[in-house]
């Protein structure tokens, strides 16, 4: 269980950092991180970090697929964890 929790914490930190980096690059008009990459990070366990990054950096909050999609991924991951624990 320790390793699973450590994985989710680490990948969430990566998601948070990517959201911050993408926001910075958006302001500086540099090449951006593809939305698909952000969703992949969310799907493999970083959804909480991506969501916190959305709120913290006010990034991608107007995009419907992020505003609805990331919370749905969080709910799905919680449901899977509950199913696996039982």
For 74, residues 6+ apart whose C-beta sits below 8 A from its C-beta are 47, 48, 51
**pLDDT score for 18:** 97
pLDDT of the residue at 4 = 86
For range 3-11, the mean pLDDT: 92
Read off the pTM: 0.90
d(CA 22, CA 19): 5
Range of the domain at 21: 2-85
Ramachandran region, residue 29 (left: φ > 0; alpha: ψ -120 to 50; beta: rest): left
Sole residue written with tokens 């993408």: 22
Q: What is the CA 86 to chain-centroid distance, rounded?
A: 26
Instruction: Work out how many domains the chain is built from and give that number.
Output: 1
- Burial (0-12, 13-18, 19+ Cβ within 10 Å), 6: exposed
How many CA atoms are closer than 13 Å to the CA of 65, on its beta-carbon side? 5
pLDDT of residue 22: 97
Over the stretch 33-85, which tens digit does the pLDDT of each residue have?
A: 999 999 999 999 999 999 999 999 999 999 999 999 999 999 999 999 899 88
């Amino acid at each position: 269980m320790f390793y699973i929790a450590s994985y989710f914490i680490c990948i969430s930190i990566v998601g948070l950092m990517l959201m911050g980096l993408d926001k910075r690059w958006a302001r500086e008009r540099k090449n951006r991180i593809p939305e698909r990459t952000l969703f992949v990070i969310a799907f493999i366990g970083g959804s909480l970090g991506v969501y916190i990054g959305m709120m913290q950096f006010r990034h991608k909050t107007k995009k419907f697929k992020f505003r609805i999609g990331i919370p749905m991924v969080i709910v799905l991951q919680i449901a899977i964890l509950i199913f696996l624990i039982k």
